[in-house]
Structure 1
């Protein structure tokens, strides 16, 4: 009787230990998934911060370009004002040029008229030389006073001829000077116009370049804003998944503690199986855990075939593809691997989470059949 009670107590302790191992194994799996989710969240947070910095940099570049554009607009306005002032000077100079041209025409007409007078004077002098003119004045005069008056008049006429010649020379020289001044003014105005036009062309070219740069920066800013919004959405999605995962871990852990444990039936005695024997630490997993793809390393689809007998192994200990016999599990295929499966450890596949929890963690015999 006492021996029976001891056996019952031993079985109960074994079941409790198996259940504890199952909870620990499942908790470790979910903890790993939660850890991966936290890493993804950190990466998304870094991405959001990076995009925020890029946005700030682009905004500064846009602000600088806008300041440069404002300066260019100011320069263009000033240049236009300078061109307007130059145009006023051009108009005034053109008026001056036209006035001088009119004066030249008047002087040329005046010179032409003087030529007629001078021609008549020359003919008169040829007909009467100076001595004959004096004799005629003497004999034709009725008195000494009349002679003096006629001599004074003749002298005045001869002096007038000299004045006409002098004025003629001065007017001709003034015409030449005015023409030269007109040429200088026209050349100077043309140079000023060319300089201002060149400045205006350069300013327009710079303005176009700055406008193109501003457009490019605005497009880049729009892309960064879109990327930030997408990163924020992904971040919110990961946070929501983490909350659901944490709630699921708490719920399933509570369910696992309350669920009775039953040991699976052994399909075949070890004595009937031949091959290389070893003892390993065995845990259990399912295809429905968070982050599980359901496809093993060797391509078995566990979600589509939940009744497959598959174990995850360390290929350096148990070769992939081997047919094995696992104590308490039966015959299976070594068709999967796992990040935590190193050395003499295996992970047996169970169709449901409740069966995986019931398996727990235990030390079992494994026979590599082939």
Structure 2
């Protein structure tokens, strides 16, 4: 009966020890589910960041092209204005000549001179030739004046057209810059969301580590207590078996003593003395065994108690030496130091985190907007390694000095 009660107690203790472990395992599963969900969200945000970076770089390229068109158009305006000024000067000179001729006609009677020239002709042929010459001269002068006026009109029309185009280009530039600013804000917002998700992942990882350690400690404690209980049971069984053996031996000795009483008094005394001696010895051995058992259980009970920088409000500009790398290079990894897959997020740069923290949005001269996602053994101090998805682009980039805008 006692053995059954002992087994029941051990089973109950084992059940109580196992139940918390299962509950904690469920808690760890919940942490894993949360981690998977946050990782999926982070990948989606990272993809959105890359799309926004690509759109921003394309918009900045359009802004630069528009600025170049404005510059070229401004040069055309200046050229047209200069040609208008020169044409006006020529027109003014020719008008002055005509005015002088009209003045001479009024003062000297040039009309009579023309008639005189005709009347002094030697014959009819000479008369006709002189009349045609006078007419051609007057017609040529008029054509020159008309031609200059037409040229001036064309130049004025050209200037009006160029100025209208210039206004359109400036309006387009303003719209593109506004769009680029909106994209910058979108990238910054996505970066903040991504940083928040990364912080959440770090918290989940820390919780998982603590939970795993606690579960392991619970398992070790359960195993230790089970081993101690088993040892106590074995000791109790051994003590009970020993007591039973001693009792059987005592009974056997008593029976033998009773059988010898009938043979002789001396033999009875001797047998009684021997029986008494045997009984005392058995009693002493039993006491010694119980003391030993008590002492052996005591430790188990004890164990159960155990400067070339510049900046404004949004970014800081610094000078860097730049190189290039690609995941397509032999032996290169697809993943950055921050765990980002370069195949889906190619717009990345490698930096020294003590200069530019990982996750920072930067704009590299000649490369565009990117995110600091990687590090490298040779990337120390003001060195920045821009990423391309092909090796020829890296070769074309080479090694150069660039200005880098580091956004806050």
TM-score under structure 2 length normalisation: 0.54
User: Higher mean Cα deviation, 64-73 or 29-38?
Assistant: 29-38
| Native 8 Å contact 1:27 1:249 kept in 2 | no
Q: 1:54 aligns with which of 13, 20, 34?
A: 34
Is the 2:91–2:145 Cα contact (8 Å) retained in structure 1?
no
- Between 1 and 2, higher relative CO (CA 8 Å, sep ≥ 6) is seen in 1
Residue 66 (structure 1) shift: 1.6
Q: Aligned equivalents of 1:252 and 1:135: distance in 2? A: 154
* 1:249 aligns to 2:196 (yes or no): no
The answer to whether residue 126 in structure 2 is matched with residue 146 in structure 1 is yes
The 3 A distance-change label for structure 1 pair 129 and 114 is same
Q: Is 2:93 the partner of 1:113?
A: yes
Mapping of 1:1-370 within 5 angstroms?
20=2, 24-25=4-5, 27-127=7-107, 132-133=112-113, 135-259=115-239
* Aligned length in residues: 246
Structure 2 Cα separation of the partners of residues 192 and 106 of structure 1: 33
Task: After TM superposition, give the deviation of residue 172 of structure 1 in Å.
Answer: 3.2
1:62–1:217 CA contact under 8 A, matched in 2 = yes
Indicate if the aligned counterparts of 1:44 and 1:231 stay in contact, CA closer than 8 A.
yes
| TM-score, normalising length: structure 1 | 0.59
Q: What is the CA–CA distance in structure 1 between the aligned matches of 2:93 and 2:4, rounded to whole Å?
A: 130
Gaps of 5+ in 1: 1-16, 262-287, 294-370
Instruction: Quote the Cα distance in structure 2 between the aligned partners of 1:131 and 1:122.
Output: 10
- Contact 2:91-2:149 within 8 A present in 1 as well: no
In the TM superposition, what is the alpha-carbon distance from 1:52 to its structure 2 partner?
Answer: 1.0
Q: Larger radius of gyration, structure 1 or 2?
A: 1
Offset, 1:127: 4.4
Alpha-carbon spacing, 1:105–1:138, altered in 2? closer, same or farther (3 Å): closer
1:103-135 alpha-carbon deviations (Å, 9 max, x no partner): 112211112112212212322443477863553
Partner Cα distance (1:135, 1:117) in 2: 22
Q: Deviations over 1:69-107 (max 9, x none)?
A: 222222222223222322332232223222212211221
Task: State how far apart, in whole Å, the 2-side matches of 1:201 and 1:192 are.
Answer: 14
Greater displacement, 40-49 / 172-181 = 172-181
Structure 1 residues 37 and 141: CA distance shift in structure 2, 3 A: same
CA distance in 2, matches of 1:67, 1:181: 44
Query: In the aligned structure 2, how far is the partner of 1:107 from the partner of 1:218?
Result: 69
CA distance in structure 1 between the partners assigned to 2:211 and 2:8 by the alignment: 29
CA RMSD of aligned residues (A): 2.8
Q: Deviations over 1:228-284 (max 9, x none)?
A: 0110001001101111121122122233344569xxxxxxxxxxxxxxxxxxxxxxx
Match of 1:347 in 2: none
> Matched residues in 2 for 1:226 and 1:143: separation?
122
Aligned counterparts of 2:13 and 2:95: Cα–Cα separation in 1: 118
